[in-house]
Amino acid sequence: MHHKLAFIGFGNVARSLARLLMRKQAALERDYGITFSVTGIATGKHGYAVNPNGLDISQALQLVESGQSITSITNYHLPITTSIEVIAHSSADFMFENSPVNYETGQPAIEHVRAALNAGMRVSTANKGTVVHGYRELTALAKAKGKKFLFESTVLGGTPMFSTFREAMPAAELISFKGIINATTNIILSRMEAGETFEEAVRYCQGIGIAETDPSGDVDGWDASIKVAALATVLMKTPLKPQQVDRTGIRG
Amino acid sequence: MHHKLAFIGFGNVARSLARLLMRKQAALERDYGITFSVTGIATGKHGYAVNPNGLDISQALQLVESGQSITSITNYHLPITTSIEVIAHSSADFMFENSPVNYETGQPAIEHVRAALNAGMRVSTANKGTVVHGYRELTALAKAKGKKFLFESTVLGGTPMFSTFREAMPAAELISFKGIINATTNIILSRMEAGETFEEAVRYCQGIGIAETDPSGDVDGWDASIKVAALATVLMKTPLKPQQVDRTGIRG
């Protein structure tokens, strides 16, 4: 079966996913009969591209990574200037929502997911804001449309957590959990233990691309709090906002 | 939806499952609309029971655990004297195969699974022999019948392994694995480290019910070998028999 994919947000995570899909292309076709094309891409700083017949993924990756706009590769009879227009005109049946997280409201990601589900797409997101601020609404909307609202990579990335509970332990009841759920602060603390200053350790994490220029989301505990909120909301059926999580940063 | 269940093998594992199902009864109905009755039980030493309208599970547990036969609770117009007859006459739509493991051939468990699938049942087994000696045949037979051949608990018990790969990481490619996959030898070695003799540690494991009277399956590494064979056969798509696994026991 052929799938048309739209990428809303095309940062590090989304581009790694695009590369992974290209690398797995042959295996997906051989083992699952799945082929795909990317028909829409929305970026924060590098423009928008739509082509219902398929965009050149390699070219899109190259343009963004060399700091250029992807608008040049679009091939559509209308001008496309917003993420919502990419969703509306991409003819995609699967939307990946990977725009930056908004801890307070989950927007505009929730808007993107809503638009895609309403257009009959299945949705997968790495955006934690959609889970803690829109879980019930978006899950109900997906169900009403007979589609899926998926968010596996919001917590623990490559380690399946939500799908393991959903598919492999459906009757289990989660009572508590503990663990390290923010890699950046974990690395910072380990490097400080080994003798670096807080500032040196933060710079190291920024250097390897896992901490933002403004590292507050990680070092003030917001990322960990929103992940705890997502786990409680979904796996413990207890709606929780990051603001309600008892939070201690590591600024010292 | 109502499910009729048959238990082939009714030892510690199967009885724990029966108790767990009874404990989860309300949650299964509330969250999944699932109700169930047990319509057939085959034991190794305590006889056979069939009632297509449902057996009294508590009574079956009590009889077996006080060393009595369950034949008294059967309610069927034919005498039932074999596991295959339980399968054939139970009217079950789901069969749990939990007879003792046979490292060399996987029998008679493979026969039980074959009979149940041919009768249109879905099958779940904790018997590793069915996986290493019958995986391809039984998976193909289940597929042909539009049913499932499931075996999650054969390796790592309560920790989902096969279903996590199947449902949550379908495109992942397993290249290697390492780990402790036999609890009994792990406990024996830990207790020997703490000062006990091999014999004392074995007796402890027998006392808490995790080692057999003849502990060779564990201490000679056969249990670990058959688990390695099951993981390789299923997750690495490389058929392997326990006899082919490089094996070192802990008899010292």
- Across B50-59, B62-71, B169-178, least confident range: B169-178
Task: Give me the mean pLDDT over the A75-79 stretch.
Answer: 89
Residues of chain A neighbouring B27 (CB-CB closer than 8 A)? 171, 173
Mutation target to probe the A interface, by most A beta carbons within 10 A, among B167, B175, B237 is B167
Question: ipTM of this predicted complex?
Answer: 0.79
Query: Which residue has better confidence, A153 or A94?
Result: A94
Q: Say how far apart CA B132 and CA B115 lie, in whole Å.
A: 18
Encoded amino acid at B74, one letter = T
What's the gap in Å between the CA of B163 and the closest CA on chain A?
5
Percent of chain A with pLDDT over 70: 100
- The predicted pLDDT at position A210 comes to 84
DSSP labels, A56-68: -HHHHHHHHHTT-
Geometric angle at alpha carbon A156, from A154 and A159, rounded to 5° = 115
- The predicted pLDDT at position A30 comes to 94
Kindly determine whether residue A169 and residue B152, on different chains, have CB atoms separated by under 8 Å: no
- The predicted pLDDT at position B75 comes to 86
pLDDT tens across B110-154, in order? 999 999 999 999 999 999 999 999 999 999 999 999 999 999 999
- The size of the A-B interface in CB pairs under 8 A is 35
Q: Which of B39, B10, B230 is nearest to B138 (CA)?
A: B230
Task: Count CB neighbours of B31 within 10 A.
Answer: 11
Q: Is the pLDDT of residue A252 over 80?
A: no
Kindly determine whether residue A168 and residue B169, on different chains, have CB atoms separated by under 8 Å: no
What's the gap in Å between the CA of B216 and the closest CA on chain A?
32
Q: What's the whole-number average pLDDT of chain B?
A: 94
Kindly determine whether residue B160 and residue A168, on different chains, have CB atoms separated by under 8 Å: yes
The partner residue sitting opposite B164, judged by closest CB among A168, A170, A171, is A168
For chain B, domain boundaries: 2-168, 183-244
The 3-state DSSP class for residue B118 equals helix
Mutation target to probe the B interface, by most B beta carbons within 10 A, among A21, A163, A173, A175 is A163
Q: How confident is the model at residue B211 (pLDDT cuts 50, 70, 90)?
A: confident
Kindly determine whether residue A160 and residue B163, on different chains, have CB atoms separated by under 8 Å: no
Residues of chain B neighbouring A173 (CB-CB closer than 8 A)? 27
| Residue A90 contacts residue A6 (beta carbons within 8 Å) | yes
pLDDT tens across B11-52, in order? 988 999 999 999 999 999 999 999 999 999 999 999 999 999
Query: Which residue has better confidence, A172 or B39?
Result: B39
Task: Give me the mean pLDDT over the B195-202 stretch.
Answer: 96
| Measured CA distances, A220 to A117, A139, A210, A252 (Å) | 34, 30, 15, 10
Q: Is the pLDDT of residue B160 over 80?
A: yes
Percent of chain B with pLDDT over 90: 86
> Residue-wise over A31-40: b if at least 16 C-beta within 10 A, else e?
eeebebbbbb
Mutation target to probe the A interface, by most A beta carbons within 10 A, among B169, B173, B236 is B169
Residues of chain B neighbouring A152 (CB-CB closer than 8 A)? 168
Q: Supply the Cα-derived Rg of chain A in whole angstroms.
A: 19
Check if B2-168 and B183-244 are the same fold: no
pLDDT tens across A102-154, in order? 989 999 999 999 999 999 999 999 999 999 999 999 999 999 999 999 999 99
- The predicted pLDDT at position A171 comes to 85
| Residue B117 contacts residue B139 (beta carbons within 8 Å) | no
B233 Cβ contact partners less than 8 Å away, ≥ 6 residues apart: B131, B132, B135, B239, B240
Q: What's the whole-number average pLDDT of chain A?
A: 94
Q: Which of B132, B114, B108 is nearest to B223 (CA)?
A: B132
Phi, psi of B36 (to 5 degrees): -150, 160
- The predicted pLDDT at position B156 comes to 87
Measured between CA atoms, the residue of chain B closest to residue A20 is B171
C-alpha distance across the termini of chain B, in Å: 53
Q: Which of A243, A216, A242, A214 is nearest to A230 (CA)?
A: A242
The partner residue sitting opposite B171, judged by closest CB among A28, A163, A169, is A28
Tell me which residues of chain A have a C-beta less than 8 Å from any C-beta of chain B: 24, 27-28, 31-32, 152, 160, 163-164, 167-171, 173
Q: Say how far apart CA A211 and CA A186 lie, in whole Å.
A: 12
- The predicted pLDDT at position B50 comes to 97
Q: Which of A196, A161, A198 is nearest to A181 (CA)?
A: A161
Tell me which residues of chain B have a C-beta less than 8 Å from any C-beta of chain A: 24, 27-28, 31-32, 152, 160, 163-164, 167-171, 173
Structure tokens at A37: 């094309």
Task: Give me the mean pLDDT over the B76-82 stretch.
Answer: 92
Q: Which of A24, A96, A156 is nearest to B171 (CA)?
A: A24
Burial of B135 (0-12, 13-18, 19+ CB in 10 A): buried
Residues of chain A neighbouring B173 (CB-CB closer than 8 A)? 27
- The predicted pLDDT at position B100 comes to 92
Kindly determine whether residue B169 and residue A152, on different chains, have CB atoms separated by under 8 Å: no
Q: Is the pLDDT of residue A213 over 90?
A: no
Residues of chain A neighbouring B32 (CB-CB closer than 8 A)? 170-171
Phi, psi of B226 (to 5 degrees): -70, -30
Q: Determine the CATH number of domain A2-168.
A: 3.40.50.720
Residues of chain A neighbouring B164 (CB-CB closer than 8 A)? 160, 164, 167-168
Geometric angle at alpha carbon A47, from A45 and A53, rounded to 5° = 145
The partner residue sitting opposite B168, judged by closest CB among A31, A163, A173, is A163
Q: Is the pLDDT of residue B252 over 80?
A: no
Structure tokens at A27: 């295996």
Q: Is the pLDDT of residue A236 over 80?
A: yes
Q: Which residues make beta-bridge pairs with A123?
A: A95, A149
The partner residue sitting opposite B167, judged by closest CB among A24, A168, A173, is A168
Q: Which of A13, A16, A224, A215 is nearest to A126 (CA)?
A: A13
Q: Which residues make beta-bridge pairs with B97?
A: B8, B125
| Measured CA distances, B62 to A140, B50, B73 (Å) | 44, 17, 12
Q: Say how far apart CA B53 and CA A207 lie, in whole Å.
A: 67
Residue that has been written with the tokens 């978006």 in this structure: A138
Task: Give me the mean pLDDT over the B59-73 stretch.
Answer: 96
Residues of chain A neighbouring B156 (CB-CB closer than 8 A)? none
- The predicted pLDDT at position A61 comes to 97
DSSP B157: T
Domain B183-244 listed as CATH 3.40.50.300: no
Indicate which residues of B carry an active-site annotation.
227
- The predicted pLDDT at position A156 comes to 87
- The predicted pLDDT at position A214 comes to 86
Kindly determine whether residue A167 and residue B170, on different chains, have CB atoms separated by under 8 Å: no
The 3-state DSSP class for residue A8 equals strand
